[in-house]
A and B are shown apart, each in its own frame.
Chain A
Amino acid sequence: MNGHPTREEDFDLYALGALEGDEKLAIESHVVSCADCARKLAEAEGRIALLAFATPRVEPEPAVKQLLMEQVRAAAESAAPEREPESERTTGSKWRNAVLIPVGAALAIATLLLWNENRRLDQQLAALHASMQQQQKQLQDAREVAGLITASDTITVALAPQAGMPKGAARVMYNAKMGMLMYDGEIEPAPSGKNYQLWLVPASGSPINAGVFTAVSGQPNHWMMKLPQGIEPKTFAVTLEPAGGMPQPTGPKVLVGGVS
């Protein structure tokens, strides 16, 4: 297609990511050379972006903002060029100027080169700092996994499929003292508009949400989750719930495992 899209909704469908193949390429190649259609596409992107507001706000943990601001400060500090010392004004003779001006110019060029080099190194340092923070987080995750697996009071519960439900199997490792849970499992994809949800059913009290997830055929699900500490479980169960999960289980049990 070299002309304008025949239907206005094509821009919305493109922004939604629904188009593929030739239909997608046609829009992409056309908007490069058509300012009017590029504007329509930007408007469609704005409309589709409103769908982000279809889910209620979830305020992040304060630590996320704190980490962000620390990352920003670290980057800003490492990128700030050092102040050059104020040059002293000289009132010397012509021969002094003849020597000092070229030397000064050379020094200025050298300073500029060094500043550029410094800036490049600082950018690398900021990238390394960000990478280090990510690695520290991964290391912390690995430590938590190791702690959970090696703790003598960690229990392992196998979750078995229920009759007439999607096929699958899963395993939960849980440590009540640490309040740490790890899920490993594979299950057939949920029907349209539904998600799976894992529950810790305590010996007394209401079930506790331990994760809402989407299953993809042939791809195992795996996650760790912090739960309130000290809860003794009676059962772990995966239920089928409306998309996005529910505060308490409402759907049928798909996988169940009792704590022996």
Chain B
Amino acid sequence: MNPEIGPEVRASDAALIERLVRRDEAALAALYDRYAGMLLSVLIRILRDTQAAEEILQDIFFQLWRTASQFDASRGSLPGWLAVIARNRAISRLRRHNPAAGEELAERAVTSPLNFESAMAQQQLLGRVKGALESLPKEQRAAIELAYFEGLTHSEIARRTGDPLGTVKTRLRTAVETLKRTLQPSAAST
């Protein structure tokens, strides 16, 4: 079932944010339909707890409703911004650290040249990101996943895997270089 049904489907994120600032509930519902599935998947992947993930999901969108005016759609990527917040919230919860709700909304700047406002674009992006991760050597992919989905730092990954710290640093550096190359927009058409 495609959740994006209705006149808001074709509206851009920027247009929906503008309507959100004017307290338009339909705009919030449209943004929720557009991005809740993507955010919930990453929340569940990090937390392994659907109920906790749904609580955070609801909280993120309520916060977006309350503080939409802080988001400058001309300068930032809304899904990128939401993904950063979702990941930070989930990892904080995983580590039983509870930052003051909302502190990160105003602070993080996230830009992306990619457009993933439609379900089809998101599906294509899923394929690209999965492909990029799968193309990494196994150890590099594992290091990236431990950092992104479990919030581990270099030395924490080294402790977890038993590998030397220098090795872990090299793996992660090489992995992010490769991902940067693979995921840049010009690589999309190749």
Which residue of chain B has its CB nearest to the CB of A213? B48
Interface of B is mostly: helix
* In contact, B122 and A53 (Cβ under 8 angstroms): yes
A130 CA to B55 CA, complexed, in Å = 11
Among A12, A60, A72, the residue within 8 A (CB) of B25 is: A72
* In contact, B160 and A71 (Cβ under 8 angstroms): no
Known: A9-B180, A72-B25, A214-B48. A59 touches B37 (CB 8 A): yes
Q: Is B16 at the interface (CB under 8 A from chain A)?
A: no
A58 to chain B: which residues have CB within 8 Å? Answer: 37, 40-41, 44
Residues in B83-131 with C-beta less than 8 Å from chain A: 83-84, 86-87, 91, 108-114, 116, 122, 125-126, 128-130
* In contact, A50 and B112 (Cβ under 8 angstroms): yes
Residues in B149-169 with C-beta less than 8 Å from chain A: 149-155, 157, 160-161
Known: A53-B126, A68-B62. A18 touches B40 (CB 8 A): no
B28 to chain A: which residues have CB within 8 Å? Answer: 68-69, 72
* In contact, B66 and A75 (Cβ under 8 angstroms): yes
Q: Contact size class for A?
A: 35 or more
Q: Contact size class for B?
A: 35 or more
Q: Is A49 at the interface (CB under 8 A from chain B)?
A: yes
Closest-CB distance, A42 to chain B (whole angstroms): 4
A71 CA to B63 CA, complexed, in Å = 11
* In contact, B177 and A9 (Cβ under 8 angstroms): yes
Closest-CB distance, A225 to chain B (whole angstroms): 9
Q: Is B173 at the interface (CB under 8 A from chain A)?
A: yes
Q: Is A185 at the interface (CB under 8 A from chain B)?
A: no
Residues in B57-90 with C-beta less than 8 Å from chain A: 57-58, 61-62, 65-66, 76-77, 79-81, 83-84, 86-87
Among B62, B130, B138, the residue within 8 A (CB) of A54 is: B130
Q: Is A34 at the interface (CB under 8 A from chain B)?
A: no
B151 to chain A: which residues have CB within 8 Å? Answer: 17
Closest-CB distance, B73 to chain A (whole angstroms): 14
* In contact, B179 and A71 (Cβ under 8 angstroms): no
Among A9, A42, A65, A75, the residue within 8 A (CB) of B176 is: A9
Among A13, A39, A51, A59, the residue within 8 A (CB) of B173 is: A13
* In contact, A50 and B129 (Cβ under 8 angstroms): yes
B10 to chain A: which residues have CB within 8 Å? Answer: none
A52 to chain B: which residues have CB within 8 Å? Answer: 38-39, 41-42, 83, 86-87
Closest-CB distance, A14 to chain B (whole angstroms): 10
* In contact, B41 and A20 (Cβ under 8 angstroms): no
Provide a sorted-by-A list of 10 A–B residue pairs whose CB atoms are within 8 angstroms: A18-B172, A41-B109, A46-B80, A47-B112, A49-B77, A49-B87, A50-B80, A67-B58, A68-B62, A189-B160
Of all A-B residue pairs in the complex, the 4 with the closest CB atoms, nearest first, are: A46-B112, A57-B37, A52-B83, A42-B109
A-contacting residues of B (Cβ < 8 Å)? Answer: 1, 3, 23, 25, 28-29, 32-33, 36-42, 44-45, 48-49, 54-55, 57-58, 61-62, 65-66, 76-77, 79-81, 83-84, 86-87, 91, 108-114, 116, 122, 125-126, 128-130, 133, 138, 142, 144-155, 157, 160-161, 172-173, 176-177, 179-180, 183
Add 13 more A-B contacts to A17-B152, A49-B81 (CB < 8 A). Answer: A12-B179, A18-B172, A45-B111, A46-B80, A47-B183, A49-B110, A51-B129, A54-B130, A55-B41, A64-B57, A69-B28, A192-B142, A192-B161
